[in-house]
């Protein structure tokens, strides 16, 4: 491929089309790290809201490290994949504990944010992609940042039909991006190719206004093998998806009035499973279906899909004079629930119950 031509065209496109995003006008490693963790599995629009909230509340590593894990989970509420928030917090604490190269932080001293690929890669929750993104965006180091958009563009540019999400495929795509990477301007290259995949070389390849294929007007079609060989629309290739596991969750929302306040029981999930450390109502998990209820019991059913599991959840309300004694649960006022980190499923159920059951 004529790399000079490719870079020129791609950078010109970037200048004309890039979005102004708050984490783009900074070289602050902390801010870039935060944005990259939030944006994993999250749309930019939604991520922006969370990013601004986190930055306003915890403007630097030291502030984040001082936060309580529950506070961080609460701010994260609704984004899903809560291990990202736990790792973010854990990494901030590790950085503060590690201090500076000359020893622990003394009063008024600041953390030196990791500045090499290997140091970044060693942080909890930071994989190859995130380490490459921070290394290039913050320090202009020559590492690729292969997100889903970049895999797609590279598959099409090089007409590669190897599944990109297998071990062999990842290795092959890594070699390909290493050959394409602009080592003199890695920050610009990674920003431009990611944005190009996000906005132009999209999965559908169709112009949202006209419905026409965007390849005909693409600025790099001359060097795109997928376009030349008419295979672009079939790329990239994924390995077959594993079957989702079905789980049946039966929640009981006990409600009881105590001293003029409605109280309920919640417990914290501690097992190494989904939603570790989050809080939820009293749960009974069943085998093949959700459990039947007494006639007239108010409830909502919600189906919720996670990356490997399909959850069938039933939330039933049980009004009672006295809350039962259930080991591991905590009695809280309904009005205090917002102070606890709750899963997105529980939040959805609460929304529906508020609308239908006068919650
Ligand atoms: S020609 Fe089509 S497939 Fe190739 S890079 Fe451009 S938009 Fe993507």
* Atom of ligand 1 lying closest to residue 232 CA: 3
pLDDT for the residue numbered 97:
86
Which helix (H) or strand (E) is 133 found in, with range?
Answer: helix 128-139
Structure tokens at 142: 């020559």
pLDDT for the residue numbered 80:
82
The answer to whether the CB of 221 is under 6 A from ligand 1 is: yes
The answer to whether the CB of 227 is under 6 A from ligand 1 is: yes
Per-residue model confidence as pLDDT tens digits over 43-58: 999 999 999 999 999 9
Contact between 337 and 267 under an 8 Å Cβ cutoff? The reply is no
pLDDT for the residue numbered 280:
95
Residue 357: pLDDT band (50, 70, 90) is low
Residue having the nearest C-alpha atom to atom 8 of ligand 1: 201
Q: Give the dihedral sign, CA 39/126/178/26.
A: positive
Per-residue model confidence as pLDDT tens digits over 182-211: 999 999 999 999 999 999 999 999 888 888
Q: Where are the domains of the chain?
A: 3-234, 245-356
Contact between 152 and 235 under an 8 Å Cβ cutoff? The reply is yes
Residue listed under structure tokens 């629309």: 233
Long-range contacts of 12-18 (CB under 8 A, 24+ apart): 12/219, 13/192, 13/196, 13/200, 13/219, 13/220, 14/188, 14/191, 14/192, 14/195, 14/196, 17/195, 17/199, 17/200, 18/191, 18/192, 18/195
Per-residue model confidence as pLDDT tens digits over 154-185: 999 999 999 999 999 999 999 999 999 999 99
- The reply to whether CATH 3.50.30.30 applies to domain 245-356 is no
Examine the pLDDT at 104 and tell me if it is beyond 70. Answer: no
The answer to whether the CB of 90 is under 6 A from ligand 1 is: no
Examine the pLDDT at 270 and tell me if it is beyond 80. Answer: yes
Contact between 136 and 190 under an 8 Å Cβ cutoff? The reply is yes
pLDDT for the residue numbered 307:
79
**226 C-alpha vs ligand 1 centroid, how far in Å?**
7
Which of 208, 226, 234, 235 is the pocket-test mutation for ligand 1 (most atoms within 8 Å of CB)?
Answer: 226
Assign a CATH topology to domain 3-234. Answer: Endonuclease III; domain 1 (1.10.340)
In terms of Cβ atoms closer than 10 Å to its own Cβ (0-12, 13-18, 19+), residue 342 is buried
* E-only strand ranges, the chain: 245-258, 261-268, 279-286, 299-305, 309-319, 329-333
**4 C-alpha vs ligand 1 centroid, how far in Å?**
17
Mean pLDDT, the chain, rounded, equals 92
The answer to whether the CB of 172 is under 6 A from ligand 1 is: no
The answer to whether the CB of 232 is under 6 A from ligand 1 is: yes
Contact between 264 and 329 under an 8 Å Cβ cutoff? The reply is no
Residue 253: pLDDT band (50, 70, 90) is very high
| Identical fold between 3-234 and 245-356 | no
* 49 included as an active-site residue: no
């Amino acid at each position: 491929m004529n790399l000079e031509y490719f870079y020129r065209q791609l950078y010109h496109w970037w200048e004309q089309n890039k979005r102004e995003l708050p984490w783009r006008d900074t070289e602050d490693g902390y801010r870039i790290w935060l944005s990259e963790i939030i944006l994993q599995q999250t749309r930019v629009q939604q991520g922006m809201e969370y990013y601004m909230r986190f930055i306003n509340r915890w403007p630097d590593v030291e502030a984040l490290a001082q936060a309580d894990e529950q506070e961080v989970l609460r701010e994260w509420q609704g984004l899903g994949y809560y291990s990202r928030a736990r790792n973010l917090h854990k990494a901030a604490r590790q950085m503060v504990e590690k201090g500076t190269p000359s020893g622990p932080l003394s009063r008024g001293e600041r953390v030196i944010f990791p500045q090499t690929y290997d140091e970044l890669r060693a942080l909890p929750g930071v994989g190859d992609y995130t380490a490459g993104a921070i290394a290039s965006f913050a320090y202009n180091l020559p590492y690729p940042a292969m997100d889903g958009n970049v895999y797609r563009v590279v598959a099409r540019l090089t007409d590669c039909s190897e599944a990109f999400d297998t071990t062999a495929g990842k290795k092959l795509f890594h070699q390909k991006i290493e050959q394409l990477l602009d080592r003199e301007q890695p920050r610009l290259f990674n920003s431009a190719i990611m944005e190009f995949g996000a906005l132009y070389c999209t999965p559908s390849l169709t112009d949202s206004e006209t419905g026409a294929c965007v390849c005909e007007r693409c600025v790099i079609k001359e060097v795109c093998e997928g376009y030349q060989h008419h295979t672009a629309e079939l790329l990239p290739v994924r390995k077959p998806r594993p079957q989702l596991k079905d789980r049946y969750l039966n929640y009981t929302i006990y409600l009881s009035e105590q001293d003029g306040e409605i109280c309920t029981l919640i417990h914290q999930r501690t097992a190494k499973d989904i939603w570790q450390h989050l809080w939820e109502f009293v749960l009974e998990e069943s085998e093949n279906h959700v459990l039947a209820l007494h006639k007239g019991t108010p409830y909502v059913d919600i189906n919720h899909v996670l990356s490997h599991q399909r959850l069938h959840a039933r939330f039933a309300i049980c009004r009672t004079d006295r809350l039962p004694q259930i080991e591991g649960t905590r009695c809280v006022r309904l009005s205090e629930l917002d102070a606890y980190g709750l899963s997105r499923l529980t939040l959805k159920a609460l929304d529906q119950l508020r609308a239908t059951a006068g919650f």
